[in-house]
Structures are given as structure tokens and as C-alpha cells.
Amino acid sequence: MLAYIIRRVFQSLLVLLIVGLVAFSMFRFVGDPVDNMLGQERTQADIDRLRGDLGLDQPFPVQYWKFLGGAIQGNFGVSYRQGRPVADIIVERAPATLELAAVSGLFAILGGIGLGVFTAIRRNGLAANAIMTLSLIGVSLPTFLIGILLIYVFSVELDLLPSFGRGEVVNLGWWSTGFLTQSGLLALILPSITLGLYQMTLIMRLVRSEMLEVLRQDYIRFARARGLRERAVNFRHAIKNTLVPVITVTGLQLGSIIAFAIITETVFQWPGVGLLFINAVQFVDIPVMAAYLMLISVMFVAINLIVDLLYFAIDPRLRVDGRAT
Amino acid sequence: MSDPSLTPIHSETPERPLSEPVLSVRDLIVEIPTRYAVLRPVDQVSYDIAPGEILGVVGESGAGKSMTGNAVIGLLDRPAHIADGEIWLKGRRIDNLRRDQMRAIRGKEIGMIFQDPLTSLNPLLRIGDQLSETILEHLPVSRAEARVRALQALDEVGIPAAAERLNSYPHEFSGGMRQRVVIALALCAEPSLVIADEPTTALDVSVQAQIIALLKRLCREKGTSVILVTHDMGVIAEAADRVAVMYAGRLAELGPVAQVLKTPRHPYTDGLVGSMPMASAGKERLRQIPGSMPRLGSLPDGCAFHPRCPRAETRCRQNPGPTLGADHGRAACWFPVGEVS
Ligand SMILES: Nc1ncnc2c1ncn2[C@@H]1O[C@H](COP(=O)(O)OP(=O)(O)O)[C@@H](O)[C@H]1O
Ligand code: SF4
Ligand SMILES: [Mg+2]
């Protein structure tokens, strides 16, 4: 098992290197930051000097190598726009995005598994069918539209929840949290639903179909034949088997929650890294964009790794321990 | 000749169980409504099982053996349901119980063993836990006691190093060993009746006899009655006390194994016995029954066996064969083998 983990970690690093290369090189063709940074009255000398300062005059591999070396030490260079270290800006912005993603992820997982199991157990019930129909809306409406609809209903019409920003935040060291104030918590509700709804719907539909499949298995029939209660059959025997295949997709969905945060953060003017990225794109702020993409891929790779390890935890058939007959 | 349509064949007095039966099935009808017709996979089946008795149920695939067993344990899959008849367990009627009442009987009073041990056990739960949960559900014992009983149960079915194996997962056992675990699970709450639905069909030939012998020994020791469903006459000859032969949802013949094997009365039983390799060895009568069992949707009029029956006559095509009640004759046939008509 250790060998397996080492191999997976190694693969992950390779993936990161490639993603980093692709990301870094793609940005080279997005636009010329020097154009943006210098005003209209620039001279060729100004341009050359700035290029030299930013290291843009060096050959491509050298630039990439420097970028990687810095990234490993948490140094992503200096933002073209803000003139501050990218690392500082990201550290400042990360808590907002991570808290939003955590709440959305929790909402998606708990809601998705809960509703998925419910609609599977009560597959002929009225409520289950209503949920399944509604879920079609969840998968087909684009995120920004859901956000705007929620804002319209809960902020504009009902005036119950804030429509933008994080509310009041409390600083715990460098981490700014919205979990400790009422306005911070209220501000999380609409963006979290917006961000997590699509993933929740996907997880729910997946859990439902897996659960229905599991409920047809012989061991469920045998569990019933042994006189176990429906509760034990559903929640001890069926759920665990349902979750094995669900874990992968769920893991990937959580990764995409962070990626999708860009749209939600824009709709709700949420001061996280997604909004930072959008602003960086408009300004061709390559160091910020590259750092963002690297972070996102680190996140994806880490989640993938965790998913693989979870498999081992939940499915004994994968744990090779020499006891097999 | 008197009119046989008025008097069902009483060729010999069927052996009635001496004591109160553990299970009585009376005129059981299971129906499946489909878009085109209402199918009857089980049609007026009646039998009794005495305490400790092993009743073999034999017949071709699709004859309704599993449906009958599932009806008894209350696990018919919708849309199949009991349309008529009664099922009595130790003097208590159980076919009309509420769901939770029937659930409490499953495992506790009636155990069940399925065909495929590879898929019968939950792959993600340790077998010790699967045993304990069953014991805790049905017996008033503590967790620790349940654990001890689980160990006993594993030991009884001949799993070596049972104490260690409690912590094993199903995939760590071979097929034969898994079926032993399944038997332990079916018997761990000490039911008075076990329905074993083709318990050896999915197993390697080399372990089939061991499993049957184990089942037989355990049930003898505990006084458990068994409904042993199989399509293998050899298994019946080996293990059962009486045998019920099913054809197209109905009982064709019911009687003590020795009698039925020696002098089968129903032409279908006669055919089954005739195709047994052992029986044919000396007697030169290895033969297959021609044709195949009709599908439920297209049963012929009259006796369902008549298109394949060498003894069929006009009466057979017009009148459904006589129904075999628990106290009627041995064979549901107008012209039983070995009787002068
Ligand atoms: N859902 C269903 N719809 C229609 N026919 C069914 C259904 N389930 C089972 N049957 C039929 O019921 C009959 C009895 O099946 P079963 O009891 O499993 O037979 P056996 O166990 O003797 O092989 C078979 O002919 C089968 O085709
Ligand atoms: S009733 Fe007639 S057709 Fe049916 S088994 Fe007897 S002899 Fe054959
Ligand atoms: Mg069957």
C-alpha cells in the first residue's frame, strides 16, 4: 500500500508539472502585460526596461524554471497590477474562497447523499418524484442564473439575505473568517447554494441510481431474509456500498466547486481568489493567473489523492493483507 | 371404471407427519399481474413440513420453486403477490401479517439460504459483524454474548480458526467457505425452518456434497426443518425425507423420497427419475423428457404436462390435472404410472 501511495504522489507531481507548464505557457499568448502596465506615452526604452525587470526578456524555459522554483517556496512573483507579491494577495483572498467552497461542498455532499438516499428508498413516493423533477432544473440552469434568481427572491423581494460581499469578518491571525459573525454567516447562504446546487444535484442523482442498483443486490435480499430492519438494510448495508462508486465523482465535484467559484464570486462580488482571477484576466496579470491555476490544480490533484486513499479506507477488497484464502 | 374426475386418485395413503407441522402451506396461489395477463407462477400448492423434516422441492428451472419459498418467507418481489391460500407457521397464520411482524419472523423463525454465496454476503462488512447484527436483532443478548454466539455459529459450520475469521471480510473466503458462512447466518438465530434455495447450484462440484451434508447434519442436530429447493434429483435422494415435484407452478407429486424414487406416480416424476444417472445405471432407462416446460403466459389447456406426456389422453387435454392437496393422493395425474386405468 505504501508503494501505491508513493507512486500516486509521484504521478501527482508529474501532473502538476505539466499543468504548470501548460498554464504558464498559455498565458504567454494571452496578451502583453507591458502594454497594460505602461501608459500611452511609453518609449521603447521603458518597455525594454520593464521587460528586463519582470524577467520577460529571458528565454521561456528559464522563465518557467524560475516560476516553478519560486512557486515551491510559495513565491509566485509580483502582481503586475498591484505591484505586491502574488503570494500575499492570494493568502489574503484564500480564506473567503475556501470558506465558501467548504460550505458549498458540505451542502452538496450532505444534501446530495441525503436526498439521493431518500429518493432511492422512496422511489415511488410523491416527494421523491418531485425532488427528481426539480433536480433537473438544478442541472440545467447555469450557475449565474441561479445566483441572480436567488438574489432576486431572497434579497430584492424578501429582503432576507445579503446579495453581495462577505458581511463582517473576524481576523484570526492571517485568516479572515465569516463564520463568527451573524452577517458573515448570512452572507454565506446564497453564494453557497448557488455554488453547490449543481454539484448537489449531480451527487444526488448519482447516489440515487447507485443506491437503487445496490438495493437489487443479493446481499440486500439476504439481509432482509435475515430479518434485519429496513433501517439497518438501508443505512448499514446499502449506503456503504453506494458510497464506494460515489466517492470518485464527489471528489472531482468538490474540486470543480473551487474552480466554479469564479462565476459565483463574480455574481455575489465575493472577495475571494475567483474574483481575483477574473480581475487578473482583464489585466493580463500573468503571475496572478499562473498562481491561481497552479493552486487549482494542486487542489484537484490533492483531492484525487484523498479519494484514492478513501477507497482503501472504505473497501476492504482493495486492502491487500495476505489473509485471503 | 368409476369416474376419476369426481374422485381424485387415492392410490396410497400419503404419509402424514405424526406431530404438528412446523409449516403448512394451503392452496397457495402466487400471481404476477402483467400487461397482458395475470401469471400464476405458483398455483394451488399445498404441503406440510414436520419438525426436523427435510422436504425436497424439485423441478425444472421456472417451475415456481423459488417463488413458493419467497412467498413463505414473505419476500416476493412486486408485482408478484400471494393471491390466495394460507401459510401457517407453528399454528400461526403468517401470510397476512404486517410487514414488521413478518420481518421479525424472518431470520428468527424462518431462515433462508440463497444460491450464490459469492453475492449473498455484504462485501464491506466483516462476517463477524454480519453474524452479530443478525443475532442481536432476534435474540435478547448483549453484544459480547452475540459475539460468542457468532463464534459458535462459525465453528459449527466448520470454518477453521473461527475466532480469527470473525474479523475477515467475505472476499477472504473461498466459495464453499462462504456458503458455510451463509449457512451460519441463516441458522444463527436458531429458526425452526430453513429454506435453502439451490444452496449448491453455484458451487464447485467437489464441495456440493460437503455443503449438503453439513446442512443436513446441522438441521438434524438442531431439529430444524428444511425446504431444500433444487433441480437435482441426486441431491434429493441424498438429503430429503420427502420430495415435492413441481411443474409449471403446480405440485405434480409429493411423497416420501424412497417411494417416489422407486415408484414414481406422475409421468413427469417418472421422467425426472428416469433421467437420473444413478437410477439408469442398471436399468437401461436413461432418457430425457422430450420438449420443454411451457412458459407461464402460454400454458396449455388441461394438464400443463400433456404436450410432453406419454400417457396423455383426451381427459388430460380438457381437464386440468387433479389438485394435489396435503391430504390427497401422491400424484396430480389422471392416469398415474403404475396404476391400472
Ligand atoms: N417479474 C416477473 N414477471 C413475469 N414472470 C416472472 C417474474 N418473476 C418470475 N417470473 C416467472 O415465474 C416463474 C417461477 O419462477 P421461479 O420460482 O424463480 O422458478 P424456479 O425457482 O423453480 O426456477 C418462472 O416461470 C418465471 O419466469
Ligand atoms: S394428467 Fe394426463 S397429461 Fe397430465 S401427467 Fe397425467 S397422464 Fe400426463
Ligand atoms: Mg429458483
**pLDDT tens digits, residue range A103-133?**
999 999 999 999 999 999 998 889 998 998 8
Asked if residues B334 and B318 have their Cβ atoms less than 8 Å apart, the reply is: no
Q: Is the pLDDT of residue A184 over 80?
A: yes
Polymer length of chain B? 341
User: Could you report the predicted ipTM of this complex, rounded to two decimals?
Assistant: 0.87
Q: What cell numbers appear for B153 in the block?
A: 455459529
How many contacts, defined by CB atoms under 8 Å, are there between A and B?
Answer: 88
Give residue B8's pLDDT band: very low, low, confident or very high (50, 70, 90).
very low
The Cα–Cα gap between A52 and A30 comes to 19
CA of B330 vs chain A CAs: smallest distance (Å): 32
Q: How far is the CA of B240 from the centre of ligand 2 (A)?
A: 25
Cβ–Cβ gap B119/A219 under 8 Å:
yes
User: B43 or A33: which carries more pLDDT confidence?
Assistant: B43
The pLDDT assigned to A27 comes to 60
State whether the beta carbon of B324 lies less than 6 angstroms from ligand 2: no
Mutate to test the interface with B, among A214, A219, A239, A310 (most CBs of B within 10 A): A219
The Cα–Cα gap between A192 and A257 comes to 10
Nearest alpha carbon to residue B110 among B20, B30, B31, B197: B197
The pLDDT assigned to B340 comes to 56
Give residue B225's pLDDT band: very low, low, confident or very high (50, 70, 90).
very high
Average pLDDT estimate for A241-261: 82
The Cα–Cα gap between A154 and A288 comes to 34
pLDDT in tens, B55-83: 999 998 899 999 999 999 999 998 999 99
Q: What is the DSSP string of A235-254?
A: IIIIHHHHHHHHHHHHHHHH
The residue ranges of every structural domain in chain A are: 2-72, 91-324
Average pLDDT estimate for A138-160: 87
What order do you get walking across the sheet with B225-230 strand by strand?
Answer: B110-113, B193-197, B225-230, B54-58, B242-247, B250-256
Q: Which span out of A55-69, B16-30, B122-136, B284-298 was modeled with the highest average pLDDT?
A: B122-136
Reported as type and span, the H/E element at residue B292 is none
Cβ–Cβ gap B125/A237 under 8 Å:
yes
Give residues with Cβ within 8 angstroms of A119, minimum separation 6: A128, A131, A132, A204, A208
The pLDDT assigned to B144 comes to 94
Give yes or no for a cis peptide into B79 (omega within 30° of 0).
Answer: yes
Residue B28 per-residue DSSP state: E
Asked if residues A264 and A143 have their Cβ atoms less than 8 Å apart, the reply is: yes
Asked if residues A23 and A294 have their Cβ atoms less than 8 Å apart, the reply is: yes
Please compute, for residue B251, the number of CA atoms within 13 A of its CA located in the half-sphere on the CB side.
29
Give me chain B's average pLDDT, please: 86
**Residue B39, beta-bridge partner list:** B32
| Ligand 2 atom closest to the CA of B267, numbered from 1 | 5
Cβ–Cβ gap A228/B137 under 8 Å:
yes
Nearest alpha carbon to residue B80 among B21, B134, B29: B29
Please compute, for residue B51, the number of CA atoms within 13 A of its CA located in the half-sphere on the CB side.
10
Residue A85 per-residue DSSP state: B
The pLDDT assigned to B138 comes to 94
The Cα–Cα gap between A313 and A320 comes to 12
**Residue B247, beta-bridge partner list:** B250
pLDDT in tens, B254-272: 999 998 998 888 989 988 8
Give residue B3's pLDDT band: very low, low, confident or very high (50, 70, 90).
very low
SS percent in chain B: helix, strand, coil, step 5: 35, 20, 45
Return the minimum-mean-pLDDT range out of A27-31, A144-148, A309-313: A27-31
Question: Hey, is the C-beta of B101 within 8 angstroms of any chain A C-beta?
Answer: no
Give residue A74's pLDDT band: very low, low, confident or very high (50, 70, 90).
confident
CB atoms inside a 10 Å sphere around CB A58: 14
Q: Which CATH number fits domain A91-324: 3.40.50.1440, 1.10.3720.10, 3.40.50.11810, 3.30.360.10?
A: 1.10.3720.10
Give yes or no for a cis peptide into B140 (omega within 30° of 0).
Answer: no
Give residue A324's pLDDT band: very low, low, confident or very high (50, 70, 90).
very low
Give residue B10's pLDDT band: very low, low, confident or very high (50, 70, 90).
very low
Q: What is the pTM of this model?
A: 0.80
Q: Where are the alpha helices (DSSP H) in A122-181?
A: 126-140, 143-150
| Ligand 1 atom closest to the CA of B68, numbered from 1 | 17
Q: How far is the CA of A87 from the centre of ligand 3 (A)?
A: 67
